[in-house]
Chains A and B, each alone.
Chain A
Amino acid sequence: MLQNRRYFFYFLFAVTGIVFAVRLFYIQILDDQYKLSAENNVVRIIREFPPRGMVYDRNGKLLVANQVAYDLMVVPQQVKGLDTSSLAFLLEISTDELRGRLKRSRSYSRYKPTAVSRQLMGKMLTHLQEELFRFPGFFIQKRTLRTYPYPLAANVVGSVGEVNEAFIKRNPKYQMGDLVGVSGLEKSYETELRGEAGVKRIMVDVHNREKGSFAQGSYDTAAVPGAVITSTLDFDLQVYGEQLMQGKRGSIVAIEPATGEILALVTSPNFDPNLLVGQQRGNAYAQLLADSISKPLYDRALLAEYPPGSPFKLVNALIGLQTGAITPQSAFSCHHGFHFGSLTVACHCSGGTMALEEGIYKSCNNYFCTTYKRIIEAFPSAHEGMDQWSKMVKSFGLGQYLNNDLPTGRKGFVPDADYFDRAFGNTYWRAVSTISMGIGQGELVVTPVQLANVAAIIGNRGWYITPHIVKEINNQPHPNPRFREKQYTLVDSVHFPVVVEGMYQVFERGTAAGSKLPGLTMCGKTGTAENPHGQDHSIFLAFAPKANPKIAIAIFVENGYWGSRWAAPIASLMMEKYITQQVTRPALEKRMIEGSLEAEYQRQLTNPGPLKKKK
């Protein structure tokens, strides 16, 4: 019966239906690979770079900002049918160069986006955006770069660099192409400045054109911008300091004594921080690093360790008063120096018998050698005296890290008894054996920021707040309580006025009389530190005004002969500028700005070694 052949047809349809259903069950329910493939096809994960936090000076002047850049990214796995030559043409690079870059991308990851070309601009960017649909697997990513409105304080603001693979391994929050602070503020406030990256999932069609957000953006997270940082720097003062220091090597550190806020942190020579941005970064950095003579990358204000020289006499005076080794009335006669047996420390003060105040403003070596000897000898043994002295010196923030909020620093060095046991190889040394401590020479070394802190301590009459460079984060006071705590020295505040008076006289009739400014009560101390390479360093430590200091300052001018020649006038100008907002001594200012020590630096290169000794 042919009618029965109908059952063949029913059977055929049933089998077909079942085969289809089974196949559908398999690919739609059992096998997950298609769901992933569909997402891979259509979803592009775009990292939303958070704008890095801006940095302002204490008066709201913008120091560090962002600029927008566009990178061409590639996901090698999604590239198909690439027309290498036309892409290379658009990018204005050679085909071989492009092939090389793509190869590097592939070897990094086939699935993660990597940059093919960075910081595209202008016409190239527009053309590329128009033609992008022809290059599946490529997309343009917006990112921000640092920019510095003023070529200023490169040592303070620091710079950012791109993370490398090793860094990413240690810090999984970062991805290839991310920026990270590598020096200065950028480094020490990386966590605050970084912000949080957001993730945006967008859909693209087969031609790689954007088609809106994936799943209505429910998986997207917004980028959290980095914190706004208000630096303690005073823009005008920093500019002025850098101007004054041009042509000289050295540093200026200015601190607001009441708060420990660093007002200026000048190192010279310096460089334009914009050099270390973007594509040119690598080359510029190599060039700066290669300058091993003037070392522009070396932050002298934080890293250079010098013997403090005469300004250290102030510390000895204070310790002497505290230990009772001297009183303000103690008077010593100077006969061209300090003499003890065969030992002589020469002195260039006018000589005669003088009390403490005069000893300070005349910077008498004899006075402070005697004071130092008396301090050590006030204790039962030279060892005990040495250790007590050392402890008190360290209470001035010397010989140890200040633990400020900049990523670099040096301890300096304050010797103690143990040190001298090792240095002398015996234990029967006496006070006079270490007499150079009395005038801040010898083993003792300090950094400029430490010395500025000493100026602040004296201005505050006995305490300091750890110097720091950041005042506010997101307009809130610095969260670290360390930058609000007063650190007291081991010298009582009653002993300070006489030293302050002596420092005042330095300007009135002492070694810095030439830098005196009527109307502003400035206190200071010149210094001249020996150095084995050439001319002595010119050093000055000061604060002003005398009664309620607004600024404390330390200045080092390398090979600047003596303190009153460079450092004192510069300090005087800086304090005038900061306190009165103007400069009334154009001639002095001009001399300081235009003065250059290049000749001396050149001489050291061709004829190393000391030229002459001067004390």
Chain B
Amino acid sequence: MRENKGIFDNIDWITLGLYLVLVLMGWANIYAAVYSEEHQSITDLSQQYGKQMLFIASSLILGLLVLSIDGRLYDNLAYFLYGLTVVLLVLVLVAGKEVNGARSWFAIGGFTLQPSEFAKFSTALALARFLSTRGVTVLKWKYRWVALALFLVPGLIILPQPDAGSFLVYLAFFFVLFREGLPGIYLWMGFGAIVLFLLSLLLPQMWLLSGIALIAALAIYFNRKKKGFWLGAAAVALVAAGVVTSVDYAFNNLLEDRHRNRINILLGKAHDPKGIGYNTTQSLIAIGSGGFKGKGFKQGTQTKFNFVPEQSTDFIFCTIGEEWGFVGSVVVVGLFVALLSRLVMMAERQKSAFSRIYGYGVISILFIHFFVNIAMALGLAPVIGIPLPFFSYGGSSLWGFTLLLFIFLRLDAYRMQIL
């Protein structure tokens, strides 16, 4: 066993490098997105880019701090941190500050903190801790329930803030369960449910139900020699029918108007470029007008002149698309794919289950943010307000993602010390 000499020993420089590149690109794009003639300095603290500089600096300090702590500590602190953030999530519902209709922030002095950003890494820690416990396996239902509860509970607490986006993030932990042995059928069922969900929004309910019945009947007919097949097929058909009817009910009765509208726009059922679909339209215009090479740094008219809403946070990708064009956009997508792949590689080389599972937690969270955020900007997903990791403006989210990633970096560096 080697001596632990410094905090950068055994660190994965590729990941660290990708992190730094993404963070700095994000800063530059925030600067370009909200740039104004009156405040030209990128370090102007009255502007978002000036504040982001502080957030980046503090994140780096936070990262160094994380790296300097003994890796074993995270294993031990997992439940404590999890418990702490769950309490904070409950507290914020009661004592939080309301911004834009969402009660997601604690106001401390001049700063605001968003506990849901920190709950992501603590949930990943807790899930890793639980699943790495000797004897725990996702193949057994009694453990599955606990694992599910571990990540669905914070998700459900966040939901009424309201923050449907964050809830979606917590669903990503299913990927972790999958990697740890959850049968693939559940993942396929998940995809199937999403397809059915979309179909049930697009097609009249009667058509779908008839279609399901027809497919089930045909399947049973062709497999009539198989003993007991009809029972299983009927059960699947029933569940599918149940999904269809409940989606219909949920869509029309449970969802709020704004969500319903957003989904309708996305499905092309309502064309309303100046209304609810305004965000998506302007986002597409911004990205589409970038062309191959883009309009150049600070030359994006869509973002600079505020045609794109939330251009420094949820729609930061528009600035990339508009000012850096196809080239820049593909580079950014490529950097994320590279980072995620690198993290999978790293997760797989872990000797401890805890580190590996935590690694997959990190991957799942980063992926769902990356996927939903860019898909939304490109008009492939409904408008769901979640940030693009490392890019979007905001202290809480940058700190949250930094903690998430750097804990894994620390665990990875520490892997050599585990025999």
Contact = CB atoms under 8 A, between A and B. Distances in A.
A587 interface: no
B333 interface: yes
A426 to B, nearest CB: 83
Nearest to B345: A6
A203 B37 CA distance: 14
B290 A28 contact: yes
Interface in B303-353: 304-307, 321-322, 325-326, 329-330, 333-334, 336-337, 340-341, 344-345, 347-348
Contacts of B326: 24-25, 28-29
A27 B284 contact: yes
B245 to A, nearest CB: 30
Nearest to B363: A9
A27 B288 contact: yes
A603 interface: no
A49 to B, nearest CB: 26
B367 interface: yes
B278 to A, nearest CB: 9
Nearest to B344: A9
Interface in B274-289: 274, 282, 284-289
Contacts, number: 117
B175 interface: yes
Which of B179, B285, B288, B305 has most chain A Cβ within 10 Å? B288
Interface string A8-36: 11101110110111011101110101110
Which of A9, A12, A17, A31 has most chain B Cβ within 10 Å? A9
Contacts of B306: 205-207
A41 B302 contact: yes
B333 A42 contact: no
Nearest to A211: B305
A25 B287 CA distance: 10
Interface string B369-386: 011001100111000000
B12 interface: no
Interface string A411-431: 000000000000000000000
A91 B304 CA distance: 32
Interface string A203-216: 11111000100000
Interface residues of B, number: 47
B301 interface: yes
Nearest to A41: B307
A485 B363 CA distance: 93
A13 to B, nearest CB: 5
A9 B305 contact: no
Nearest to A212: B37
Which of B180, B284, B305, B375 has most chain A Cβ within 10 Å? B305
Nearest to A20: B333
Contact of A31 (B179, B288, B380): B288
B340 A38 contact: no
Nearest to A12: B367
Contact of B305 (A21, A23, A35, A206): A206
B291 interface: yes
Contacts of B282: 41
A10 B292 contact: no
B181 interface: yes
A37 interface: yes
Interface string B229-270: 000000000000000000000000000000000000000000
B34 to A, nearest CB: 12
Given A27-B284, A28-B288, A203 B301 contact: yes
Contacts of B321: 24, 28
A42 B302 contact: yes
B307 A2 contact: no
Nearest to B293: A28
Contacts of B79: none
B143 interface: no
B174 interface: no
Contact of B288 (A2, A35, A211): A35
Contact of B285 (A17, A23, A38, A204): A38
Contacts of B302: 38, 41-42
B178 interface: yes
Interface in B354-375: 363, 367, 370-371, 374-375
B337 A14 contact: yes
Given A206-B305, A206-B307, A13 B337 contact: yes
Contact of A21 (B284, B333, B380): B333
A552 to B, nearest CB: 66
Contacts of A24: 287, 321, 326, 329-330, 333, 378
A173 interface: no
A10 B305 contact: no
A38 B301 contact: yes
A157 to B, nearest CB: 45
Interface in A44-83: 80-81
A8 B178 contact: yes
Contacts of A475: none
Contacts of B292: 28-29
A3 interface: yes
Given A6-B348, A10-B344, A20 B288 contact: no
Contacts of B375: 20
Contact of B341 (A13, A29, A204, A205): A13
Contacts of A9: 175, 179, 340-341, 344, 363
Contacts of B179: 2, 5-6, 9
Contacts of B333: 17, 20-21, 24
A52 B107 CA distance: 62
Nearest to B178: A5
A28 B287 contact: yes
Contacts of B180: 2
A34 B285 contact: yes
A87 B371 CA distance: 44
A23 B288 contact: no
A2 B180 CA distance: 7
Interface string A354-376: 00000000000000000000000
A24 B371 CA distance: 14
Nearest to B302: A38
B284 A34 contact: yes
Nearest to B340: A13
Contacts of B291: 28-29, 35
A12 B370 CA distance: 12
Nearest to A81: B274
Interface string B122-152: 0000000000000000000000000000000
Given A12-B367, A38-B289, 15 more contacts: A6-B347, A6-B348, A8-B178, A13-B341, A16-B367, A23-B378, A24-B330, A31-B288, A35-B289, A35-B291, A38-B288, A41-B285, A81-B274, A206-B305, A206-B306
16 contacts: A6-B345, A6-B347, A10-B344, A13-B340, A13-B341, A13-B367, A16-B367, A24-B378, A27-B379, A28-B287, A28-B329, A33-B288, A38-B301, A38-B302, A41-B282, A207-B306
Interface of B: 175, 178-181, 274, 282, 284-292, 301-302, 304-307, 321-322, 325-326, 329-330, 333-334, 336-337, 340-341, 344-345, 347-348, 363, 367, 370-371, 374-375, 378-380
* 4 nearest CB pairs, A to B: A34-B288, A205-B305, A38-B289, A27-B288
